[in-house]
Amino acid sequence: MESLLAILIGGLFACAIYMILKRHIIKLIIGLSLLAHACNLLIFVIGSTLRGKAPLIDEVTGQAPGVVADPLPQALILTAIVIGFGVTAFTIVLIQQVNQTIGIQDTDQLDSCDKFD
């Protein structure tokens, strides 16, 4: 199972980098989104997929009940999802404004700022 997840993560990273290096702006947004999903999956796999009980301490014994699940990777992934959504929304709005102002969707043509003067 871990090897299948490693191949999937590698494929997502490869597709994300390929999409980011394309010249079209929409493909750049898709690549950034794929990169965020690949990072989330990587954090999930690093945190291990071991199933366990909730990490609650028993009041009587003061000990955790055997094997417990680590909640930190889940919290990191949830935070990364929210941040990734915010970055994607900001990127979409920014690209929409650039498209309305300049009318260009090719990233190679965006290197000059002469049209803003």
Nearest to 79 by CA among 55, 35, 43: 43
Query: What domains are defined for the chain?
Result: 2-50+71-106 (1.10.287)
Burial readout 35-60 (b: 16 or more C-beta within 10 A, e: otherwise): bbbbbbbbbbbebeeeeeeeeeeeee
User: Residue 12 has what pLDDT?
Assistant: 94
Mean pLDDT confidence for 108-115: 63
Average pLDDT, the chain: 82
Q: Is the pLDDT of residue 112 over 70?
A: no
For 27-84, how does the pLDDT look when each residue is reduced to its tens digit (9 = 90+)? 888 998 999 999 988 888 887 666 666 777 777 887 777 777 777 888 888 998 999 8
| Eight-state DSSP code of residue 59 | T
User: Residue 61 has what pLDDT?
Assistant: 80
